[in-house]
Amino acid sequence: MKELSIQDAQKQVDEWIKSIGQRYFSELTNLGILMEEVGELSRIMVRQYGEQSFKESDKGYHLADEMADVLWVLICLANQTGVDLTDAFAKNRAKKTLRDAERHRNNEKLQ
């Protein structure tokens, strides 16, 4: 599979929304959908890696697909609000690098 940049993903989602999806849902609707998708991801994570067992109703859920759903809606929100996720990610990584340069090395819980 070909590598996909964040910028390309934002373009592909935008093109899909405008052609197949017709238009974006409102920002608040997409925020609600994002929370729903995160809940579905959480459901699979706690069953696969936590102590809860799978239920019959969990059979249609797959970890990778749920992660992709979260990413899709997050990209929708970024597109709607004018956020360049490539730039935002780079700035966020720089912030974390500066803030946490020694923090995790000095955390006894991580040793």
What is the CATH number for 32? 1.10.287.1080
Calpha distance 19→93 (Å, rounded): 33
Residue 107 lies in a domain: no
Residue 103 lies in a domain: no
The tokens describing 41, both together, are: 């991801």
Number of structural domains the chain divides into: 1
Give me the domain span that covers residue 51: 6-83
Residue 90 lies in a domain: no
The tokens describing 90, both together, are: 């780079």
Residue 32 lies in a domain: yes
pLDDT band at 105 (very low <50, low <70, confident <90, very high): confident
Q: Which of 39, 88, 82, 44 minimizes the C-alpha distance to 63?
A: 44
CA 38 to chain centre: 8
Residue 40 lies in a domain: yes
Residue 25 lies in a domain: yes
**pTM, to two decimals:** 0.89
Position 111 scores a pLDDT of 84
Residue 63 lies in a domain: yes
Give the chain's mean pLDDT: 95
Which string of DSSP letters, residue by residue, matches 57-98?
A: GGTT--HHHHHHHHHHHHHHHHHHHT--HHHHHHHHHHHHHH
Calpha distance 60→83 (Å, rounded): 32
Residue 100 lies in a domain: no
